[in-house]
Amino acid sequence: MSELHVLLVPDGADSGPWHWQQWLTARAREAGATVTRCPGPVEPAGWTAALRAELAAVPPDAELAVVAHRGGARTWLRHAADPGEDEVRRADRVLLVAPAEPGVPGAGPDVPGEPDAPALRAAGGPTRIVAGTEDPELSVCAAHALAHRLRVELDVLADGRGLDLAAGYGPWPALLRWAMYGSVPVADRFGTAPHVAGWSAVPEGAR
């Protein structure tokens, strides 16, 4: 069995010790996974480069799960939209948690043309969005539109808002199951019965 590597791509701000990212880090490590966190550079223009540096550091034979939150999710989309000339490590599965809409202050760099579905799948395997209702930075309507454009699955969580500590997302067992096993749907912090998602092949002609 290959090693599991979980890469967190945060919003950029310090999420504090009780946030689900810290909880996930501790629980996944207890279960034997390697967990790393993409550092937020000083300048937003360097976010994509920082992400690609973290991807390059993951062992090629490891199973890679990427969990990106808010502006970090937009950084992942920017990476997928403009892969560049160099071959970049592909993720085995990707979760975009409450991705902020482009142009929202503090949401990170706007995506210069979101990736189309083939480009997104060239960057990673099964990709999923999880969003909360009453999110001031991503309406449910906008979340559905984004999922439709990218041809990915969407989980909408009642009262989830930004799916952060303010909304009660410290411990989040469903997200841990997704990170460890690819179990879906990604339910709210109280959990639900999961099933295991399939794998997606690299599109023909993708690097």
Model confidence over 153-164: pLDDT tens digits?
A: 999 999 999 999
Domain architecture of the chain: domains with CATH: 4-196 (3.40.50.1820)
For the chain, report the end-to-end CA distance as a whole number of angstroms: 25
pTM: 0.87
Does residue 98 contact residue 163 with C-beta atoms inside 8 Å?
Answer: yes
Assign 179 to helix, strand or coil: helix
- Tokens of residue 82, six digits: 């403009």
Does residue 159 contact residue 132 with C-beta atoms inside 8 Å?
Answer: yes
Does residue 5 contact residue 33 with C-beta atoms inside 8 Å?
Answer: yes
Residue 144's closest CA among 152, 73, 136?
A: 152
Model confidence over 47-102: pLDDT tens digits?
A: 888 999 999 999 999 999 999 999 899 999 999 998 777 788 999 999 999 998 76
Residue 91's closest CA among 111, 101, 77, 71?
A: 77
